[in-house]
Amino acid sequence: MGESFRLFNHHHFLTTFLIIIAMLKLVHTTTTTTTTTTTTNTEFVKSSCTFTTYPRLCFSSLSTHASLIQTSPKLMAHAALNITLASAKVTSAMMVRLSNSRLKPKEVSAMRDCVEELGDTLEELRKSIGEMCQLSGSNYEVYISDIQTWVSAALTDVNTCTDGFEGEDMDGKVKVLVRGRILVIAHLTSNALALINHFASIHG
């Protein structure tokens, strides 16, 4: 009886030990696979950003979304548009607040003109994102052409935004703040357009 009990315990221990080893191997394999996939996705984002004018900004803004982008040029362009839209929204809201603060009449006028330009930019980016979701084989060329046109227009609108802040009579701090924020949106929009054009060249 005692011998049988010891054999049973030994067998049970051995079985448990083998199960634990198998589980550890599975965890290691899964972790290794996940790490490899993450590295591949991040490297894809980095290499895709070389097609843009501002690759460092491209990578810093998109690398955190690598797991969603994976290795898809379409998802890369889509993510770039969404990030640009989000940034433009924040800047537009900031400028609305500034236009209601104690500024010179000329500064208020320039601020409101800029908000209007950004409103056009937001609309063009939203339409582009909507079209990206609708891309299909039969309507691909029409949709991608629309997207390229709208994002190009958005870039023009953003660049136009700073025109009203030229001149010596504009407050230096306001000018620097506005131009700094607008410059980021312009660069993000430029990068998004470059990624869209890259996607179009691959698909076409």
pLDDT, tens digit, for every residue of 165-183? 776 666 677 778 888 899 9
Q: Is 136 a member of any domain?
A: yes
In a domain, 9, yes or no: no
Alpha helices in the chain (DSSP H): 2-48, 55-62, 66-69, 73-99, 105-134, 140-161, 172-203
Domain range for 56: 31-202
Say how far apart CA 181 and CA 201 lie, in whole Å.
31
Please indicate, yes or no, if residue 69 is contained in any of the structural domains. Answer: yes
Distance CA 123, CA 146 (A): 13
Q: What mean pLDDT value characterizes the chain?
A: 83
CA separation for the pair 186, 81 (Å, rounded): 12
Distance between CA atoms of residues 129 and 114, nearest Å: 22
Q: Are 40 and 162 in contact (CB under 8 A)?
A: no
At residue 29 the predicted structure's pLDDT band, cuts being 50, 70 and 90, is low
* CATH number of domain containing 146: 1.20.140.40
DSSP state of 53: S
Residue 79 lies in a domain: yes
Give the pLDDT band (50/70/90) at residue 139: confident
Q: Is the residue at 80 inside a domain?
A: yes
**Does the residue 110 lie in any domain?**
yes
What is the reported pLDDT for 121? 95
pLDDT reported for residue 8 = 42
Q: Is residue 180 part of a domain?
A: yes
Q: State how far the alpha carbon of 157 is from the alpha carbons of 57, 82, 111, 186, 194, in Å.
A: 20, 17, 14, 9, 17
Global pTM reads 0.79
112 lies in some domain: yes
Count of the separate structural domains present in the chain: 1
